[in-house]
Chain A
Amino acid sequence: MMAGAFDYFQFVLAPQIVIGLVLGVAVILVALGLTIIFGLLDVINMSHGEFYALGAFISVSLAALGVPFWLLLVLVPALMLPIGYAVERLLIQRVFHSPDRHVTTLLLTFGLALVLEDVFRLIWGPNPLRPETPIRGAIEVAGLFLPLYRVFMIGIGALIIIGTALIVYRTRIGAMVRAAAFDRNMAASLGVPVQLVYAGAFAFGVSLAGLAGVLLAPLYSVFPTMGRDFILMAFTVVIVGGMGSIAGAVVAGLFLTQVQAIASLYISPVWTDPIVFGIMVIMLMVRPQGLFGRLGHA
């Protein structure tokens, strides 16, 4: 009986928890850029998923040209920076000062998402593409079968999350960003180049989405509508964690994906979405600001 229980833990429960953890890291990677853009600019970026897809598409094309995967991890986010910067300066900035800023930016980014999806289809076609998994094979730890690439994802995901938090909370640029988020006018009068900070922060968020695209492409394959995949879950994570809080996104991301993994084993896989979105609804009713506060107010 004991042996049976251990075997069950090793073969069924433990892999399920690890699977949930990998999914958690993936969701947090997508939510990270979203939370920064929301926390700082107060822009609900509905096209965030499409920037994630764009990163994946660029990485597939560059890989086909022979660019090694490790270089893509630097190159694609670097290429996404000017794209994000241009989108903020050319599009977001135009409607940013309108009195209905929330609605106009939301609609603008939503429209942009639709346009991008069609552009992907025109350039890359509707069929799925799949880059080779850069790290093949798996290791066995105490009878637990772990694909190496997923282990690597957890590791690099953690590095990216910690790195982003350090940039936002421990650097001079981060301080300027937080100051601009807290009080735009005060920061401007103290000499913070607010417009540049806004565009830069947007570009940084877009670049993070692109990086998530590079990392997740080998796991989930690449196709025009892939941007819709994580976006609902990422928004849920941002809402539950507290809009704009990096720590909140991490805690909520890990918590909600574990709920999904365990619920799919013991209740039914079909119930995971209703449960997770139910948690979001309850959160919005009980504590609308989320687990943690906003970026500019933390």
Chain B
Amino acid sequence: MRQIKTTALAALMSATALTTVYAADPIKIGVVTPLSGTYAGIGQQVKWGLELATKEVNAAGGIMGRPVELIFEDEEANPAVAVQKADKVFQVNKVDFLTGTVNSGSTLAVGQVAERAGKLMATTVSFADSITGDKCSPNVYRVNARAGQQSAALAVWMSKDKPKAKVFYLGPDYEMGRSTVAAFKQSAEKVGAQTGGEVFAPLDSKDYTQYFGQLRAARPQVLYTSVAGNDTVRLFTQLQEFGLLNNLTVVGASGTVTAQNIGAIGKAAEGFVTGVGYSAEIDTPENKKFVEAFKAANKIDPDLYGADSYGLIYAYKAAVEKAKSTDTDKVREAFKDLTWKTPQGEKTLRAGDHQAVQTMYVVRVNNGKFGIVGQVKGEDAIGADTCTRF
């Protein structure tokens, strides 16, 4: 008899537990990100950042009382794969929102999938200016700093530290590489730098020494590069091996040297300078709290990808709560000039091109760690709105 009673009680309890779960359908966010390939390390930070923010949001009651659920798909840093996976999460998993794309080509391609599906997406990583420039989309947002913002900050530093330097450019041969090089060249020439030549290497190049012939022939004082992931490890160590780092200042895109690869690059990373939208060194209580929580969860410092991905969940939360709905048109309206809080301070999503406006930092590697050596205000680094599509 007593046993029947407990069973009945247990059944009743589990029934109520079930109803509380089903009372609030989760808000689903698709994460199409590289979990393998040369950008796996970046995808890992994206995953960690999103997961940490999602955990916090869910612990605090979710978004409008609904829990957030992340659905991961590996896009292998390959736009063709990204398109299939994005289609899959929109059509099969019925996600409300999509993020995670790293490769700028993937972001552009997935943006078109989102437009067709009538859903919104945001990148937290891609640099290519075109994403919120001439190839902007009413359905695509960028919460991280684009190439132009990074370049503006870096060029200001270079004009003081290496005035009138001859610069050689080496970028990965796809959208991001070409646009970061073009953006920095423009900023650098504006502050008086000369151009010594430019070369583009395919993604995943095993040997950069092939490109050193053109680099040597140019004899530059500064090398600008925007390779990322494992490619940076090879480029930097090969530069060091051939003695090319002597008398050469290496500057680059914010994704070139990160928490993921700095250990493997080792001494060859010393002195590298970049303009970034985030640094774990930012000295504010919000950032310290974030870095601590991130380290506790993942045993590694967050880098810009982890931080910007973390911040995105809060941007989406703010927009959905303002719209009181996950409906695409309503959320799009809510995202207009939305200002929200992130570990690196307040950011604003500019309504005209969907680009985040934020403070930019100049950081340099010293003893294996980035230190902040300069800072540029968000309004001074953002540049013109060149989007004409919406």
Binds A, one of B32-40, B150-158, B342-350: B32-40
In the assembled complex, the CB of A26 is this many whole angstroms from the nearest CB of chain B, namely 8
Q: How far is the CA of A210 from the CA of B312 in the complex (A)?
A: 43
The digit string for B248-288, where 1 denotes a CB below 8 A from any CB of A, is 00000000000011011110000000000000000000000
Residue B207 is within 8 A (CB to CB) of chain A in the complex: yes
- B219-248 to A contact mask, C-beta < 8 Å, 1/0: 000000000011001100110011100000
Q: Using CB atoms, name the residue of chain B closest to A218.
A: B237
Q: How far is the CB of B225 from chain A (nearest CB, A)?
A: 14
Q: Say yes or no: A145 contacts B242, CB within 8 Å.
A: yes
Contact A270/B200 with A15-B216, A128-B264, A221-B234 known, Cβ cut-off 8 Å:
yes
Contact with B along A128-155 (1 / 0, CB 8 A): 1110010000100000010101100000
**Nearest Cβ on chain B to A143's Cβ, whole angstroms:** 12
In the complex the two chains form, is A12's CB within 8 Å of B216's CB? Answer: yes
In the complex, A107 has a CB within 8 A of chain B: no
By beta carbon, the residue of chain B nearest A261 is B210
Interface SS of chain B: helix
| CB pair B210 A15 closer than 8 Å | no
| Inter-subunit contact B210/A225 (CB<8 Å) | no
**Residue of chain B at shortest CB distance from A230:** B206
Shortest Cβ distance from residue A14 to the other chain B in the assembled complex, whole angstroms: 10
Known: A130-B233, A130-B237, A133-B241. A221 touches B264 (CB 8 A): yes
Quick one: CB contact mask for B195-212 with A, threshold 8 Å, 1 for yes? 000011110101101111
* Interface of chain A: mostly helix, strand, loop or mixed: helix
Contacts of A145-195 to chain B: CB distance below 8 A: 145, 147, 149-150
* B213 CB contact (under 8 Å) in A16, A26, A221, A223: A16
Q: Are A121 and B242 in contact (CB under 8 A)?
A: no
- How many whole Å from A45's CB to the nearest CB in chain B? 19
Q: Taking CB as reference atom, which chain A residue is nearest B229?
A: A128
A15 to B242, CA, bound (A): 9
- The docked-state distance in angstroms from the alpha carbon of A130 to that of B211 is 22
CA separation between A261 and B199, bound complex, in Å?
A: 14
Q: Which residues of A contact B241 (CB under 8 A)?
A: 133, 138, 147, 149-150, 219
Q: Output the least CB separation between B237 and chain A (Å).
A: 7
List, in ascending order, chain A residues with CB within 8 A of B36's CB: 117, 121, 126, 224-225
B264 near A127 with CB under 8 A, answer: yes
- The 8 Å CB contact of A130, one of B204, B214, B266, is B266
Contact, CB under 8 Å: A128 / B233 = yes
Query: Is A75 part of the binding interface, using a Cβ–Cβ cutoff of 8 Å?
Result: no
Q: Contacts of B37 on A, CB cut-off 8 Å?
A: 225
Complex A-B, nearest 10 residue pairs according to Cβ-Cβ distance, in ascending order? A126-B40, A16-B213, A147-B241, A130-B264, A19-B209, A229-B206, A128-B264, A265-B213, A264-B210, A221-B233
Known: A127-B40, A138-B243, A220-B207. 18 other contacts (CB 8 A): A16-B213, A19-B210, A26-B207, A126-B36, A126-B44, A130-B264, A219-B241, A223-B38, A223-B40, A223-B230, A225-B38, A260-B210, A264-B211, A265-B213, A265-B214, A269-B200, A270-B173, A270-B200
A–B pairs, 17, beta carbons within 8 Å: A19-B207, A22-B209, A23-B209, A126-B36, A128-B230, A128-B233, A128-B261, A129-B264, A130-B233, A138-B241, A150-B241, A221-B234, A223-B230, A264-B214, A265-B213, A269-B214, A270-B173
